[in-house]
Amino acid sequence: MNATAMAERVRRGETSARFLAEESLRAIRARNEELNVFLHVDEHGAMAAAARVDDAIARGEDPGRLAGVPIALKDNLCQVGVPTTCSSRILEGWRPPYSATVVERLLDAGAVPMGKTNLDEFAMGSSTETSAFGPTRNPLDPTRVPGGSSGGSAAAVAAGMTPLALGSDTGGSIRQPAALCGIVGVKPTYGLVSRYGLIAFASSLDQIGPFATSVADAALLLEVIAGHDPMDSTSLPEPAPSLVAHLDDGVAGRRIGLVRELIEGADAEIVTAVERAASVLEAAGATVVELSIPELRLGLSAYYLIAPAEASSNLARYDGVRYGLRVTDEDVTAMNEATRTAGFGAEVKRRIMLGTYALSAGYYDAYYGQALKVRTQMRDAFKRAYRDVDTLLGATTPSVAFTFGSKTNDPMAMYLSDVFTIPTNLAGEAALSVPFGRGEADLPTGVQLLGPGRSEARLLAAAKVLEDVERGS
């Protein structure tokens, strides 16, 4: 059952939140050992949240738009009292003293958080293989990765453990795993969703967003979590946009650009899927033009300077004094060093070193400064493209879900998994991935729709057109 239907049934008293939470726990127990999706299942908290929803119904109150819907949270989102690790040894045993704004909004809407899902350590990766607690397996083919970094959240939804999940997307970490697991994932406009209580990776790029099995469910979840929050200084000063009401707007009259650089180098089946998506949108009344935005090719290089630079600063706080792990040594400096050496994994250390180097006095202008200029060029290039078209179309990933270990020895090969998703983060704009087509080994492929800031309603409506055709309705 999808989330929209679940909430309606709970609100009408046709099923209970407790029943849905128990069903979700059963589905989690059935496959969690095999797939390693949840790092922590919050059985007690979930049953308590479900009971609050059922009690509200019994009192004749409306518990909210996500009444009784089980949801999975990426383990870089804080929930008061619930272990939060970012899949890192350095945070092992830490329990946040407060909840993220998105978690508060979920609870206010009657959703039932089931626990915390696996991710690449500090969200750095594209496969969940950098998690200190072992990789997550793709529920569609357990010999393959679910993508990353929000691999656990995508897998929870794809395995039917929860109909909804939240992830974070700094360079593609919602869209890429959504594509690899055959579900919908949205990277909202920078500032649309509050990041208060999201553990920071690269603050000028991070955004929280939804995973769901349908476009309608993704729209509903995004509406619930979006909207201004005074606790996040980067939060846009406006209420949540209306998305569900526009789901059936279609694409008649739209101008859509099929971007050459967003299919370049992708598997043949993926290019075919994107081209078929273009014909479907055209048949539904849009005008599709082919275009080129050469600046997008610079995205990956700029990202791997900007994101590590910000990460090296954000991760300085893990010093063995304030959070989680502490490895004692003869003095404070030695303790800091021993803690960070033991607590961080290889990929996190690589990013800290890259970022520190890019920001160092002698190289700041040559690396970080250059990357910021490229970022501005990219933003301008998108702006120019949006003078001519209102939506862009491309692939989400160059390939379908890959096998374990196939990219772990070659960081560049792993980084290339996000070559199509990174430009949106650099521009601070909106994009989503919707399942469309099949690739190698009959695994799902994702099509990416991109738009300027605050274009989520339009992107979701276009995605719905593709979803309807794919489902034959």
Angle at 160 between CA 156 and CA 164, to 5 degrees: 60
Other beta carbons within 10 Å of 118: 30
What the block records as the tokens of 308 is 């590590």
For ligand GLN, which is the closer residue by CB, 176 or 235?
Answer: 176
Q: 171 vs 343, which CB is nearer to ligand GLN? A: 171
Please say if 187 is a catalytic residue.
no
CA 252, chain centre distance (Å)? 29
DSSP code for 190 = T
54 or 418: CB nearest ligand GLN: 418
173 binds ligand GLN (CB under 6 A): yes
- The 3-state secondary structure of 444-460 reads EEEEEEEECCCCHHHHH
Is 149 a known active-site residue? yes
Torsion of CA 315, 316, 319, 322, to 10 degrees: -70
Q: Which of 45, 64, 83, 171 binds ligand GLN (CB under 6 A)?
A: 171
How many angstroms separate the CA atoms of 440 and 443, rounded? Answer: 6
We find the least distance from the C-beta atom of residue 58 to ligand GLN, in angstroms, to be 41
Which of 54, 104, 169, 261 touches ligand GLN (CB under 6 A)? 169
Set 16, 24, 74, 433: catalytic member? 74
The span from the CA of 379 to the CA of 176, in Å, is 21
Site string for ligand GLN, 119-138 (x = CB under 6 A): ----xxxx------------
**Catalytic one of 87, 99, 131, 149:** 149
Among 16, 88, 99, 149, binds ligand GLN (CB under 6 A): 149
The catalytically annotated residue of 24, 88, 173, 194 is 173
User: Interface with ligand GLN includes 449 (CB under 6 A)?
Assistant: no
**CB-wise, 89 or 407, nearer to ligand GLN?**
407
Q: Which is nearer to ligand GLN, 198 or 393 (CB)?
A: 198
Least separation in angstroms between CB 418 and ligand GLN: 5
Q: Please say which residue, 388 or 410, places its beta carbon nearer to ligand GLN.
A: 410
Q: Catalytic site residue 74?
A: yes
Kindly identify the residues of this chain, within the stretch 271-300, that bind ligand GLN according to CB under 6 A: none
Handedness of CA 105, 111, 116, 117 (dihedral sign): negative
Q: Is 288 helix (H, G, I), strand (E, B) or coil?
A: strand
Give the HSE-up count for residue 249: Cα atoms under 13 Å, Cβ half-sphere. Answer: 18
Contact code string over 384-423 relative to ligand GLN, x by CB under 6 A: ----------------------------------x-----
DSSP secondary structure letters along 84-144: --TT-GGGTT---SS--HHHHHHHHTT-EEEEEE--SGGG--SSSTT-TT-PPPBTTBTTB
Would you tell me which residues interact with ligand GLN (CB under 6 A)? 123-126, 149, 169-173, 201, 307, 418
Residues with active-site annotation? 74, 149, 173
